Amino acid sequence: MKKRHHLSTTRRIMLFFLLAILVGSVLLVLPISHAKEVSVSYIDALFTATTSVCVTGLVTLPTYSTWSIFGQIVILILIQIGGLGIVTVMSGIMIGFHKRIGLEGRMLIQDAFNLNTLSGIIDFTKKVLIGTFIVEGTGALLYMTVFIPQFGLKGIWISVFNSISAFCNAGIDIISDNSLCDYTLNPMINFTSSMLIIISGIGYIVWWDFIGVLKEFPKKKFKCFKDLTFHSKLAILVSLILIAGGGLLFFIFEFNNPLTIKEYTIPQKIMAAVFQSITTRTAGFASIPQENLTNASSFVSLILMFIGGSPTGTAGGIKTVTAAVLIASAISTIKNKEETSLLQRSIPKQSVNKSVAVFFVSFAIMSISTVLLCIATKADILDILYETVSATATVGLTRNFTSTLNFFGKIVIIVTMYLGRVGPISLFIALNTQKYSPNAIKNPTEQISVG
């Protein structure tokens, strides 16, 4: 009998993302997608489709002036698909038409969200879709308080676009070519963008856990937060540490920088520093020109970008929980402990190994793309690093380097964004054809010197 070639759920998800990118690039290269008297090459259309589906935000052409309303609608749909995930969008359509989702469909959803169980997965998908549209709608209404007075009725479309882009951590806007730098001191824009980024980046699992615990607040008061799952506690704690720590470092390093926040008042400096800390966690909106940051601030940005948001959210990076597990593992090794522990809980060895693999593969992708860009361009190494880390972690922040990329450089960043979005582990699972066998012959053990 002939062997049946069956695609795994991981491979299907990767192919779905690739298909969405290719379809989007074809739509964006059509004349109807461009503004008047603007021509777009296919490589730029492919780059834009990739950065939209991969919710990265790096653009070779200014979004607000290059694309027509039709083109902007295509980009926004691609951003929403990329943020929610193609599997989630397809499942949502099936749920809307009351179609039954079979076992294979449920397994796709499970793999897309990296869940541990199939139980209640359809309800989980419904909650994700409803919660997403509620948060995005709220964000759009808040944006309208600023953009409608400034742009008139066009402000409605700008608000909707910005809200979806911020929630999906895409960082693409249709306001100007300098992102949100014109709104550095606008509290409403800073607050709305920050909340959308944080809420979406914390992860859907944390949403429902936090809401469930919050219902007990009238009875238990603040003690109810002890009922949060270990994952939620870890994701929230690490996120708060990164936001506060990053904000403090940016405040210190940029305090006397005349190119960024030197002339601001203390409250304004705090607001700008905290937003920089939040947006580097894969959001991609810039309220400060990134090329004007000090070298110290740029290095902090690289670290925050590489870590990214939390699992099962719209953010990229190696994820907050992964970083926490890696640090805890290193500390346990230094203290000569046999097990890795966090918050008085032991971490399974499988999770530690997976965290190491995620870090290593992400670092490898970033390193290879950095070397290739160094070959392709003569740019400053910091500009190149900013670009490749941003692409690997699907952030979208740039030091005005993306628009200068040549054809080869664009291809490198396109591939890097795609690999960053599908995830390093998913990539190697998809490529690995060797199945695990518990009865496989084990190699002999030998001692080596490390460190």
**Host domain of residue 317:** 9-426
Q: In this structure, are residues 397 and 279 in contact, taking their beta carbons and an 8 Å threshold?
A: yes
Residue 30 has pLDDT above 80, yes or no: yes
Tokens, residue 287:
């309220």
Cα distance between residue 381 and residue 16, in whole Å: 34
- pLDDT, residue 204, reads 83
Average pLDDT, the chain: 86
Give the pLDDT of residue 2.
Answer: 44
- At residue 237, the pLDDT reads 92
Q: How confident is the model at residue 203 (pLDDT cuts 50, 70, 90)?
A: confident
Residue 432 falls inside a structural domain: no
pLDDT at 295 over 90: yes
How far is Cα 252 from Cα 435, in angstroms, rounded to an integer? 51
In a domain, 114, yes or no: yes
Q: Which of 26-35, 81-90, 135-144 has the lowest mean pLDDT?
A: 81-90
Contact 172, 165 (CB under 8 A): yes
Identify whether 325 is part of a domain.
Answer: yes
Does residue 439 lie in a domain region? Answer: no
Structure tokens at 354: 């997976």
CA distances (Å), 295 to each of 98, 254, 301, 400, in order?
54, 10, 10, 15
Within a domain: residue 445? no
Please check whether residue 451 lies inside any domain of the structure.
no
What DSSP string describes 122-182?
HHHHHHHHHHHHHHHHHHHHHHHHHHHHHHTTHHHHHHHHHHHHHHTT----SS-TTTTGG
Whole-model pTM: value is 0.88
CB-based burial label for 327 (10 Å; 0-12, 13-18, 19+): middle
Among 123, 11, 137, residue whose Cα is nearest residue 80: 137
Q: How far is CA 83 from the centre of its chain?
A: 8
* Cα 68 from Cα 324, distance rounded (Å): 44
| 431 occurs within a structural domain | no
Specify the amino acid at residue 63. Answer: T
112 within 8 A of 15, measured Cβ to Cβ: no
Q: Which of 124-128, 237-241, 269-273 has the lowest mean pLDDT?
A: 124-128
Q: Tell whether the model's pLDDT for residue 230 goes beyond 70.
A: yes
Based on the structure, what is the number of domains in the chain?
1
Strand partners, 346: 341
In 3D space, the residue among 293, 283, 309 whose CA is nearest the CA of residue 397 turns out to be: 283
371-408 pLDDT per residue, tens: 999 999 989 999 999 999 999 998 989 999 999 999 99
The predicted-structure confidence for 94-106, as pLDDT tens digits, reads as follows 667 667 766 666 6
Does a structural domain hold residue 259?
yes
CB within 8 Å of 121: residues ≥ 6 apart: 106, 109, 110, 115
Query: Which two tokens mark 435?
Result: 């199945």
Decide the pairing of beta strands 345-347 and 340-342.
Answer: antiparallel
Instruction: Read off the pLDDT band of 196 (50, 70, 90).
Output: very high
Q: What is the pLDDT, as a whole number, of residue 256?
A: 95
